[in-house]
Copies of this chain bind each other. A is one copy, B any other.
Amino acid sequence: MNIESIINALNQVREQKPLVVNITNYVVMNNTANGLLALGASPIMAHSQQEMAEMMSFCGALVINIGTLDSQWIPRMRFAIEQANVNHRPVILDPVGCGASALRTETAREFAQLANQLIIRANASEVIALAGEMSKSKGVDALDSSEAALDAARHLMTTYQANVVISGATDYIVTPSHTISLNNGDAMMPHVTGMGCTLSALTGAFAAVGEMSGAAAAAVLGVAGEIAAEQSQGPGSLQMHLLDALYQLNAETLAARLAMVVTP
């Protein structure tokens, strides 16, 4: 993974406009769809079991986000992952609030086990809770630093044969071959709801064009987020400028700003 491969992945998303199916939480459906459209992908938010087999047959990736989980959505999500497996589609799992309730922790683990081609994207508290360690999580906001979740992420990688993206002040991408750290973004970003969910959605767009590490999405969102924050007086304008920055982002800006370190 280097800057050229990230730029190449971005260009492919914009050329192919991959269809990304999102079974996601009610809170972020609008802004994650807008994030995917601003990036250049084609989002569809769908959850009916009656159409999921069809959708998995022609989509590029499936994003599963458990932010507003309930007993009716769990079987739909399970069925969608099974159909993604049948059709060899990548699955991005966002275990929102993992650790805040037994329901979320158990469901996230079941889904991680089920998906064949998996990227897990979560904040540090969720990664730690998913791995079965004691986290400080009580809610959906991270209370642990992303660095503190690195061992847990490696545990998840081995257990579920997954790449793991820990988002935070520093983002870490944990894969079998290397660990990537990204120091873009801005401290104001956690004051916008669903910023991590947007990262998961963008990860789906990149996975659909074959970028399975999760690094390209984190790089693009981090750079767009810091550009947006420089123009913003608060989280309201940050959300708006972020979509504009995603839409405008080009190779030069990405290369000039990206603060990425790849460790073997």
Contacts and interface: CB of A to CB of B under 8 A. Distances in A.
Interface stretch (A4-12, A144-152, A175-183, A233-241): A233-241
Interface string A44-66: 11111111001100110000000
Interface of A: 17, 19, 25-31, 33-34, 37-38, 42-51, 54-55, 58-59, 67-72, 76, 97, 100-104, 138-141, 190-194, 232-237, 239-248
Given A244-B233, A247-B234, A247-B235, A27 B50 contact: no
A189 B142 CA distance: 32
A67 to B, nearest CB: 7
How often does this chain occur in the complex, in copies?
Answer: 3
B26 A45 contact: yes
5 contacts: A30-B194, A70-B76, A234-B243, A234-B246, A236-B241
B38 A100 contact: no
